[in-house]
Amino acid sequence: MTLSLYQRLALAVCLAFILLASLLFYWSNSLAEQSKFQAEQRLHLQLAEHLAHDNPLLQDGVYDKAALENLFHTLMLLGPAFEFYFLDPAGNIITYSAKADKIKRQSIDLSPIVALIANPTAVPIFADDPRNLDKQKIFSAAPIYRGENLQGYLYVIIGGEIYDSIFSQVKNDEYLQQYGSLFVGSLILLLVLLLAVFRYFTAPIRKLSHEMQAIKAANFDQNKVSLTQWKNSHTNEVHVLGHTFNDMVVQINQQFTQLTENDRIRRELLTHLSHDLRTPLATMQGYIETLTIKNTQLSEQERGTYLATAGRNAMQLKRLIDQIFELAHLEDGQVTVNLETFSIGELLHDIIAKFALKAKDKQISLQLQPAQCHFIVYSDIAKLERIITNLLENALRHTPKEGEVIVQIAQLSDKIKITVTDNGTGISKEDIAYIFDARYRASNASEDNTPHAGLGLAISQKLSRILNSELFVDSQLGQGSCFSLSLQQVTH
């Protein structure tokens, strides 16, 4: 059976009220129970200590199990709400007054006991119930000494098994009364709410529902359906909903077109990325399978070469996956910008220092011009560092041996322009228009003679726009590339 909106609304109100009443009932009971535990434990906090000090059998720390058992039995007759146990220093139960089959634990965790003795104000504290493997109860405890030697602990459960049984019977009677009151109150409240809701919402909501079904049947073509012109009244939520629905229908065809285009772009990007992921993965798998199959037939040098190649492909795979996640995060649009003032010169010196060794290994000259600058900018230092890092990685990747990479800083009015220039392979005119597109890979994109996805430039452009800037490129094939962006300068 299909429920109408009004029936669903009535059912929802009923369920919501029942849930709220249940939560309030649970919360009030939990609070009452917690308060009861705290009060009872605070009230009987020194019970074990007084018994240990006042009873000659416990004063001297004597191990007389029969006498202790008789004492505990007498105490339980006088106070049936309590259970008495004697524990050794390791927490093992030595003496108790109960049938053996009632005791489910042979030892007690001493950490709550030690905590209560050390800090009696931190109540309620719960410890293991010897008669139940799954429960803990409030307690009173005191150490038993013979001279200066700890003989064990007097462990008193507050609210024992007999107490729980009697209290449960009384509690059940209280629950019935509470449930009856809640049920009657719920019926009255639900009746009032449902009458008010039905009277107000029935007519306009039904009309809007029919129009929604009609526009859906027409495949969201507004020309095939005559929609009611709802008043844009902020005092009537149903009219606001209808007016908003009409506005949504006007734009929905454009949204469908945009979604289709976005889906095509994403599929194209996934196609490129799957290729870039498959290449290093297949290479790594091939070398690992060779090592597995021909391990004993390979020399140490061959094994080292295979492992090194697999390692390089693993690092390439990790780098690409990291870039994919970073690009997805940026495209999500929920990026926090932490703007602050800082010295751009100090930041660039730190970034260049990270690449000094790599540039030296490739015999590439890496310079900052001017070497000393004191310009202060207002930007996000972490995102700017990521941009410059990507540009330098890209420049060093495409610059040959004995090449040159220069990072330049220049002042333009109230802006600071940062330029990363190299004399490497450059970018063709056909590629340069798409160089910042994550779906596009330039024809010369490579890293150590292996295909390179080139997501770094797409990430850098998105980060630049987040910083209210734009990344520009000027390049000629075979002559090198020049990437630049501008930042807001801070003047004193």
10-residue averages of pLDDT along the chain (492 residues): 65 72 78 82 80 69 63 68 84 80 85 88 87 86 82 83 68 64 75 72 78 84 80 76 83 78 72 69 83 81 84 80 75 79 91 90 92 88 90 91 92 90 89 76 50 68 88 90 91 70
Q: Which residues of 127-137 are buried (b: 16+ CB within 10 A; e: fewer)?
A: bbbbbeeeeeb
Distance CA 250, CA 162 (A): 72
For 85, half-sphere exposure in the C-beta direction (CA atoms, 13 angstrom radius) is: 31
Q: Could you give the domains of the chain?
A: 44-159 (3.30.450), 229-334 (1.10.287.130), 335-488 (3.30.565.10)
State the burial class of residue 405 (Cβ atoms within 10 Å of its Cβ: 0-12, 13-18, 19+).
buried
How distant, in Å, are the alpha carbons of 77, 107, 305 from that of 446?
A: 87, 67, 21
CA-only gyration radius of the chain, Å = 39
Q: What angle do CA 389, 273, 318 make, to 5 degrees?
A: 50
**154 contact partners, CB below 8 Å, separation of at least 6:** 48, 51, 52, 58, 84, 85, 86, 87, 141, 142, 144
Q: What is the pLDDT of residue 277?
A: 73
Count of residues in the chain: 492
Compute the Cα dihedral for 466, 393, 349, 374 and give only its sign.
negative
Q: What is the pLDDT of residue 348?
A: 92
**134 contact partners, CB below 8 Å, separation of at least 6:** none
